Chain A
């Protein structure tokens, strides 16, 4: 293969470059649609830091992604699942030690200064790599960023870094902030963190604490005839019933991130003028997971874990708890990630008899009350669905003679109990899949993570062969080889069950029918809304 003058990787790289450049005129083409108008959106929280270059979380992106742009955004049909934003093309060197980004020309910051490669280099080296929650992983081996000209940035790594990982991470980790406002200041306390200045289609106008955020149209946005809206207002509506009422009263036009509870969707979908949308969250797939504390003797036995997996009726969970707005999981990678998803793994059909037989074989006989042993079950309090699944799991375990005692706590207390104190036997968690297993999933099963790291393997599970696969995938630069490693990863996890994947779901939006171009990319709620329009 390597003897050929053109490897498959080369062809892919060149074609990605070509495709990326042809995407430009398509993007710039004006959309014939309504212009202007104020979009009112429900927001349930007010992040204290609105800088997505430091805090790459959905709560921050929801508001800040309209102001500050990444190098590339996720896309349903773009090459490699990407659509160019501040970068127009990217190419990795054969040795995986450098990646060259071609940057968009003629872009200006909201304060009028030109956007150049110096901004990208500054963001990468001073913010993404040292400060950002995810960038610290993705850019751990980044040593320098060369800027031969204003529109080229070459990222240099000390170890081979897979372009596949970088590509998948770009929408989340590559928010570019203006060097001229940050250089020489304390980045963590810079005033631009709460009043962001970016290159995006909307400028940050004001924040009235407890009431709203207001974004205004960027009149000099680089996207031709974009954005369509004049103004976006995020109204702080902490109560979910209140958000539904505001939609029905036509005070707001959009409630994203399942601000309207699942149980209300059926009713609200029938309200004239409102529509329920379940697309636009494919790249933010949440997974319903049973975390297992392997320090418990019983749970250290694979047959016991398999018995628990067989005791869970996934279709009941989907139909009753998620009211159909979810999919059953087969393993640690969701179906929404077709690049990596492998269906050919060990599966656990709902089978109480088999579960009981497995437990009997493992030597855990029922006592006179029918109990085999007692477990402490902690459902995460972050979603209605995680709490409800906790109640279901208790019943499901009772059917196989395991007495699960539910311990409820608020978010901070749950966090500490599970991820620092390990005070659980089973926990229900909702981790999110962020487009690449290396930045979202492997941490859930990898060993050697110190106590206190939230959403990581704190169950004491150690599997050297799984750790080896994870370590190898991080530095495998060939995308095909890397994908194969993750297939192996999925087989191992599904076979050994360090945790049990139950279901996967995306959020739901409820929008006014007057709102156009909703959910047109897999990260829509946290993308820039440049084409979103409101019919008068």
Chain B
């Protein structure tokens, strides 16, 4: 337990400079992108004269120097103020609070599903590497892993929403239906089924392959040989020794995947018209909305840090060697 607390403290301290670097680099990167929020806005309204552009730049603070704006942003950030979105004319925080739960629901369910199915199928395939069962599962997973998510999403939508009419094509819930409570939850689940399945199908393949590869490797290791020698049952060897060993890279993968899925949700959220984080990020880039995009990236960075911390804790629980050296210091 002490080992875990130490790990948490060290990680949280280390995350402060990480976030600062992320903030500064993102800001500078956006500065180098040609065109600003005023260019993007004037385009959306079909033009405007020079004085309109000037007064907008002044109102957005874009008439100030890069360093002045960066300093302003960082000092506000120190007060935990994420600033004002110029593309939405709303506080960045309120936008993020509004959209993040949708993405977390989408991403969380997809990650959980793909993790469960992926590891189970991975155990089945890895229980007997190079068997025909393993070959069939691996081949199918490779096919699914190679399918682009937007294509799979559209095909699933075409089959289940347009042809069979079992599921809605898009949206987060039935529009202006006035549903509440459990009824609304069911409605949302009904709407999320297609996007979650799309993401889950693709990522199941990923977890499956990692699990299978780690298990195939574990069979060759000495402790497995020893377990055989002890006369343990094959079932017990698979679950208690091989699968447990193989779960370590899988959990590392889970941490990496959480970050990747934030990005992957951009495409799925657009196709299925889900008002989520990914779509917000895309709109922020198109609108050159620096404060909003900064807010999105910082919140994503915090999420990734937290997920990685959880991953480390889980690994420490699975493998006593992890964190032992830190504890010794």
What residues of chain A have their CB less than 8 Å away from a CB belonging to chain B? 40, 45, 47-49, 55-60, 133, 136, 194, 206, 209-212, 214, 233, 235-239, 241-242, 245-246, 248-249, 251, 382, 409-417, 420-421, 432, 450, 452-456
Distance, CA A421 to CA B36, complexed state (A): 13
6 pairs of A and B residues whose beta carbons are closest in the complex: A210-B275, A412-B35, A416-B35, A413-B34, A412-B40, A415-B39
* Known contacts A241-B271, A416-B39; is-contact A133 B45 (Cβ 8 Å): yes
* Known contacts A233-B176, A238-B273, A245-B161; is-contact A417 B47 (Cβ 8 Å): no
Q: Could you say which of A48, A133, A235, A453 contacts B273, with CB atoms under 8 Å apart?
A: A235
Q: In the complex, which residues of chain B have a beta carbon less than 8 angstroms from the beta carbon of A206?
A: 176
- Extra contacts besides A48-B89, A412-B35 (8): CB < 8 Å: A48-B87, A133-B47, A210-B280, A211-B175, A249-B168, A251-B170, A382-B43, A412-B39
Decide if B35 touches A245 in the complex (CB within 8 Å): no
Q: In the complex, which residues of chain A have a beta carbon less than 8 angstroms from the beta carbon of B35?
A: 409-417
| Complex interface: stretch among B49-57, B130-138, B245-253 | B49-57
Where chain B touches its partner, the secondary structure class is: loop
Distance, CA A212 to CA B170, complexed state (A): 12
Q: In the complex, which residues of chain A have a beta carbon less than 8 angstroms from the beta carbon of B42?
A: 415, 454
Decide if B176 touches A214 in the complex (CB within 8 Å): yes
Q: What's the nearest-Cβ distance from chain B to residue A289, in Å?
A: 14
**B 159-184 binary contact with A (CB < 8 Å = 1; else 0):** 00110010011111001100000000
Distance, CA A60 to CA B41, complexed state (A): 13
Decide if B52 touches A133 in the complex (CB within 8 Å): yes
Decide if A432 touches B158 in the complex (CB within 8 Å): no
Q: In the complex, which residues of chain B have a beta carbon less than 8 angstroms from the beta carbon of A432?
A: 46
Q: What's the nearest-Cβ distance from chain A to residue B29, in Å?
A: 14
A189 nearest CB neighbor, chain B only: B89
Q: In the complex, which residues of chain A have a beta carbon less than 8 angstroms from the beta carbon of B88?
A: 48, 209
Q: In the complex, which residues of chain B have a beta carbon less than 8 angstroms from the beta carbon of A421?
A: 34
Decide if A57 touches B45 in the complex (CB within 8 Å): yes
Q: What's the nearest-Cβ distance from chain B to residue A37, in Å?
A: 14
A417 nearest CB neighbor, chain B only: B34
* Known contacts A241-B271, A416-B39; is-contact A249 B162 (Cβ 8 Å): yes
Q: What's the nearest-Cβ distance from chain B to residue A384, in Å?
A: 16
Distance, CA A461 to CA B50, complexed state (A): 19
Q: What's the nearest-Cβ distance from chain A to residue B31, in Å?
A: 13
Distance, CA A411 to CA B283, complexed state (A): 12
Decide if A456 touches B47 in the complex (CB within 8 Å): yes
Decide if B47 touches A455 in the complex (CB within 8 Å): yes
Q: What's the nearest-Cβ distance from chain A to residue B163, in Å?
A: 9
B57-114 contacts to A, CB under 8 A, are 87-89, 95, 98-99
Distance, CA A47 to CA B287, complexed state (A): 12
Decide if B44 touches A45 in the complex (CB within 8 Å): yes
Q: In the complex, which residues of chain A have a beta carbon less than 8 angstroms from the beta carbon of B273?
A: 211, 235-239, 242
* Known contacts A410-B286, A454-B42; is-contact A241 B154 (Cβ 8 Å): yes
Distance, CA A194 to CA B89, complexed state (A): 10
Decide if A239 touches B49 in the complex (CB within 8 Å): no
Q: Could you say which of B49, B99, B162 contacts A248, with CB atoms under 8 Å apart?
A: B162
Q: In the complex, which residues of chain A have a beta carbon less than 8 angstroms from the beta carbon of B154?
A: 241, 245
**B 124-167 binary contact with A (CB < 8 Å = 1; else 0):** 00000000000000000000000000000010011001100100
**Residue of A47, A60, A432, A452 most packed against chain B (CB within 10 A):** A452
Q: In the complex, which residues of chain A have a beta carbon less than 8 angstroms from the beta carbon of B280?
A: 210
Q: In the complex, which residues of chain A have a beta carbon less than 8 angstroms from the beta carbon of B315?
A: none
Q: Is B207 an interface residue (CB 8 A)?
A: no
Distance, CA A48 to CA B90, complexed state (A): 9
- Between A and B, 21 residue pairs with Cβ closer than 8 Å are A57-B44, A133-B45, A136-B49, A209-B88, A210-B98, A210-B274, A212-B176, A233-B175, A237-B273, A238-B279, A242-B169, A245-B161, A245-B170, A246-B170, A248-B162, A249-B165, A251-B170, A412-B34, A413-B35, A432-B46, A455-B46
